[in-house]
């Protein structure tokens, strides 16, 4: 029995944490958030140089061959720093090809994804909030795909889209393919840019075992989103604690007031236990497949809600600063609202969790 992190896992988190503290401090984060670029190429290159492109890609294809737990730990740190960019999509595209690709497909794409030479992402959602693979409508016929995908993370920066199709199939579509039209989406969380992808008779290549992989990829997405949400929530709490220990009113720091202390203690007791829940969901994905689907749904719903709560309460602790665009917490609050809805909202995953338990 070992439900804790290894030294290697702690080191992985420290490395990413240090990189983001240096390369993406809040001032830089605001610039990217406010900017017009779809992708901050420098930051992306830095993350790829750290080896994040191939964390969960097998070693034989140039990755580090690590597990979902490790990928989740990386996502926790990215959430902690509200790191901009399409990392979630890229990492999950690697998982999709690793699980569903033929040898040739893996050979072709995984080394490039691992090295960061190609950027890949998932195109799963369809209009009407449809995330579930069993409900996808995009149709593949004779090697061409027709359909509309929404909320494609980093869609306009990607070289490769993994498109969810009818029957739960997954199709590879390359940038510049005929009939593929991108339209930027004016999203709430500007640190994670979304695009609409319309496909009309677009040449594609089905992943060999895509239909079998799609649900697992979705579960992986829920694990990683819950990890991101935990990182964001625990950082929100830290910001609130730091602010309360600096801000003076009535001649003392506001941390002296029991009203504030108790608000922070309640917040901590909402947030900190959720760490074990995202660990469990990721560990179940790796080691307890029979529990994984439900654990992922439960964790995503719970942790994303904790993040919304933590960011909202923290904004309140900040007082006037909390309601400005210049304040940092607004970026985390918007990330929380993104995490809550992306890959299906809280209510939909709670209902799935109830059904999966045969309630």
Partner 1 sequence: MDLRYGPEYERFRQEVREFLAETWPLSGEEAKLERVQQSARFRKRAIARGYLARAVPRAYGGSEQPPDVLRASIIREEFARAGAPLDVGAPAAQLIPTLVAHGTEEQKRAYLPGTVTGELLWCQGYSEPGAGSDLASVQTRAELVDGEWVIHGQKIWTSYAHWAEMIYMLVRTEPAAAGKHAGLSYLLVDMQQPGIDVRPLKSLNGDSHFNEVFFDGARAPADRIVGRRGQGWNVSRSTLQAERNAVATADTTLKQFSELLELAKSTRRNGRPAIEDPAVRQRLVEIEGYVTSHEYSSHRQLTCAARGESPGLIGTMNKLVGTDIATRMARLGLEISAEGALDAPYHHAEMLTGGSGEANPVARFLHSLSIRAGGGTSNIQRNIIGERGLGLPRDFAVQKRKAPA
CB count within 10 Å of CB 59 equals 11
**Closer CB to partner 1, residue 73 or residue 122?**
73
Q: How far apart are CA 101 and CA 99, in angstroms?
A: 6
Cβ of residue 334: shortest distance to partner 1, in angstroms?
A: 23
SS3 277: helix
Q: How far apart are CA 160 and CA 342, in angstroms?
A: 20
- According to the binding rule CB under 8 A, does residue 261 interact with partner 1? yes
- According to the binding rule CB under 8 A, does residue 24 interact with partner 1? no
DSSP state of 59: G
Binding flags for partner 1, 49-88, as an x/- string (CB under 8 A): --------------------x-------------------
Taking CB under 8 A as the binding criterion, the range among 156-164, 192-200, 206-214, 267-275 that sits at the site for partner 1 is: 267-275
CB-facing half-sphere around the CA of 1: CA atoms within 13 A: 0
Which of 266, 316, 323, 324 is in the footprint of partner 1 by CB under 8 A?
Answer: 266
In contact, 223 and 293? CB cutoff 8 Å:
no
In contact, 5 and 227? CB cutoff 8 Å:
no
Which of 245, 248, 289, 323 is in the footprint of partner 1 by CB under 8 A?
Answer: 245
Binding flags for partner 1, 274-313, as an x/- string (CB under 8 A): xxxx-xx--x--xxx------x--xx-xx--x--------
SS3 57: coil
Cβ of residue 10: shortest distance to partner 1, in angstroms?
A: 12
List, in order, residues 6 or more apart from 205 with CB less than 8 Å away: 105, 143, 171, 172
The residues of the shown chain that bind partner 1, judged by CB under 8 A, are 1-6, 69, 241, 244-245, 253, 255-256, 258, 261-262, 264-266, 268-269, 272-277, 279-280, 283, 286-288, 295, 298-299, 301-302, 305, 347, 350-351, 353-354, 359
């Amino acid at each position: 029995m070992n439900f804790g992190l290894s030294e290697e896992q702690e080191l992985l988190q420290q490395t990413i944490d240090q990189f983001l503290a240096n390369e993406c401090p809040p001032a830089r984060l605001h610039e990217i958030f406010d900017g017009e670029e779809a992708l901050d190429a420098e930051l992306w290159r830095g993350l790829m140089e750290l080896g994040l492109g191939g964390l969960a890609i097998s070693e034989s294809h140039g990755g580090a061959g690590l597990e979902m737990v490790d990928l989740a730990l990386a996502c926790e740190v990215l959430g902690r720093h509200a790191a901009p960019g399409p990392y979630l999509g890229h990492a999950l595209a690697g998982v999709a090809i690793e699980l569903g690709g033929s040898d040739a497909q893996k050979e072709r794409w995984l080394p490039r994804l691992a090295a960061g030479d190609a950027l890949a992402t998932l195109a799963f959602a369809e209009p009407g909030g449809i995330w579930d693979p069993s409900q996808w409508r995009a149709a593949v016929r004779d090697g061409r795909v027709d359909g509309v995908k929404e909320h494609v993370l980093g869609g306009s920066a990607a070289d490769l889209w993994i498109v969810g199709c009818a029957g739960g199939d997954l199709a590879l579509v390359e940038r510049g393919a005929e009939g593929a039209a991108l339209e930027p989406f004016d999203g709430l969380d500007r640190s994670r840019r979304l695009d609409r992808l319309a496909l009309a008779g677009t040449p594609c290549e089905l992943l060999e075992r895509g239909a079998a992989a799609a649900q697992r990829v979705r579960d992986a997405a829920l694990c990683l989103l819950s990890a991101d949400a935990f990182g964001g929530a625990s950082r929100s709490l830290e910001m609130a604690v730091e602010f309360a220990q600096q801000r003076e009113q009535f001649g003392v720091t506001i941390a002296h007031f029991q009203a504030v202390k108790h608000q922070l203690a309640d917040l901590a007791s909402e947030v900190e236990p959720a760490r074990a829940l995202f660990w469990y969901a990721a560990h179940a994905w790796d080691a307890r497949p029979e529990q994984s689907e439900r654990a992922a749904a439960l964790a995503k719903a719970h942790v994303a809600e904790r993040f919304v709560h933590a960011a909202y309460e923290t904004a309140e602790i900040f007082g006037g600063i909390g309601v400005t665009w210049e304040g940092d917490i607004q970026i985390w609050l918007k990330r929380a609202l993104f995490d809550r809805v992306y890959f299906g909202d809280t209510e939909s995953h709670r209902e799935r969790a109830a059904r999966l338990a045969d309630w």
